[in-house]
Amino acid sequence: MPDNDALIHAMLLDGQGSGRDLDWAAVNRWQPEQGILWAHLDYSQSQAEKWLTEESGLDPIVYEALLSGETRPRATRYKNGLLLALRGVNLNPGAEPDDMVSLRLWVEPGRVISTRKRKLLSVTDVANELRAGEGPCAADGILLALLEKLILRMSDTVDNFEDCVADFEERALEVQDAQMRMDLAKVRRQIISLRRYLSPQREAISQLLTEKVDWFDPEFKLRMQETQDRLIRHIEDLDAVRERAAVTQEEIGNHLAEQMNKRMYVLSIVAAFFLPLGFLTGLLGINVGGIPGAESDLGFGVFIVLLILILTLQILWFRKKGWL
């Protein structure tokens, strides 16, 4: 028999916004006439797999989807129920926000079964609302509440990305270095990864809006449309932040390239000045007979004057060419 490690929580809804917690024994005794059941499981536990496959009465297609390790956000109608895979922002301590947490759902008129591996705060929020008597009243209400919470919790993450990129934009006006460019690239990757999961989630909600499900509450699609609009705004905000990050990263890259070009230009000028001087000193420094001025006391002074003259002519020529 499964233990509490697999059963995160199970609640029986009274249809008035409240729900009471159930243990495994009560879950197994549940009958549809008792009220709406919501069972939330950790699918990584073997006990949860055993219950789903042997005791839940679910179709194999359904429990295999609930136990799937890798899922893409989607919504599929199957017989008289809905099979969904959703994603939420990972707000667990030490986690990256783009490492999204999967939530799998089977929703039918009298029962909701959800599974996850990592903790999802949105699920906890809905369960606490039920315990406080302020939660959903029906199965479609649980689905709607979970979706609303998932997308609502994305708001802070999107705002944090906007603030982070704005900070990079401000810092880029004063200081530009390779580390800043690397940090900004990391933020861009996180934004792209988050955006990659939100787009199919939008499609899943669109699918829900087009499905003709007779047990949906009349206000379900209206609230679902508002939820979809909020998700679309998040996606548009992420697109805008991603473009701002790309422009800022390009500006930093251009500035670093310009700094490098200036340094290389200075080194090239110095090398050009010393090239003829080095040639002459090398030529007159060879250890063979016949070197001009070798026996004269004025030889060294004349040679220094010659080098200064050559250097002066170089400077004048460089200025004429506009290189200095």
- The CATH number assigned to the domain holding 185 equals 3.30.460.20
Tell me: do 187 and 315 sit in the same domain: no
Q: Is the dihedral of CA 251, 255, 260, 262 positive or negative?
A: positive
Tell me: do 294 and 196 sit in the same domain: no
Q: Order of strands, edge to edge, in the sheet holding 36-42? A: 19-21, 7-13, 36-42, 111-116, 101-108, 81-88, 74-78
Residue 67 to residue 64: CA distance in whole angstroms: 5
Tell me: do 246 and 305 sit in the same domain: no
Tell me: do 222 and 303 sit in the same domain: no
Residue 34 inside a domain? The answer is yes
pTM, whole model, 2 decimals?
Answer: 0.74
Question: Does the pLDDT value for residue 29 go beyond 80?
Answer: yes
Question: Of the residues 255, 277, 312, which one is the last residue of a structural domain?
Answer: 255
* Rg for the chain, CA atoms, rounded: 35
Residue 273 inside a domain? The answer is no
Given this model, what pLDDT does residue 4 score? 53
Question: What tokens appear for 119 in the block?
Answer: 């903790």
Tell me: do 168 and 304 sit in the same domain: no
CB contact at 8 A, 109 and 139: yes
Question: Does the pLDDT value for residue 227 go beyond 50?
Answer: yes
Question: Does the pLDDT value for residue 71 go beyond 80?
Answer: no
Tell me: do 306 and 183 sit in the same domain: no
- Would you place residue 197 in the very low, low, confident or very high pLDDT band (cuts 50, 70, 90)? confident
Tell me: do 97 and 59 sit in the same domain: yes
Tell me: do 161 and 245 sit in the same domain: yes
Residue 42 inside a domain? The answer is yes
Tell me: do 181 and 307 sit in the same domain: no
Residue 259 to residue 251: CA distance in whole angstroms: 12
Q: In this predicted model, which residue has the larger pLDDT, 10 or 175?
A: 10
What number of other Cβ atoms are within 10 A of residue 191's Cβ? Answer: 27
How much of the chain, in percent, has pLDDT values that exceed 70? 95
pLDDT digits (tens, 9 = 90+) for 124-153: 999 999 999 999 999 999 999 999 999 988
Residue 1 inside a domain? The answer is no
Question: Does the pLDDT value for residue 2 go beyond 60?
Answer: no
Interacting residues of 157 by C-beta distance below 8 A, sequence separation 6+:
89, 91, 97, 194
Question: What tokens appear for 221 in the block?
Answer: 């699609």
CB contact at 8 A, 7 and 24: yes
CB contact at 8 A, 181 and 235: no
Tell me: do 307 and 224 sit in the same domain: no
Residue 18 inside a domain? The answer is yes
User: Per the structure, how many domains does the chain have?
Assistant: 2
Question: Of the residues 255, 276, 303, which one is the last residue of a structural domain?
Answer: 255
Tell me: do 245 and 315 sit in the same domain: no
Residue 113 to residue 139: CA distance in whole angstroms: 10
Owning domain of residue 211:
7-255
Tell me: do 298 and 197 sit in the same domain: no
Residue 278 inside a domain? The answer is no
**Kind and range of the H or E run holding 7:** strand 7-13
- Would you place residue 316 in the very low, low, confident or very high pLDDT band (cuts 50, 70, 90)? confident
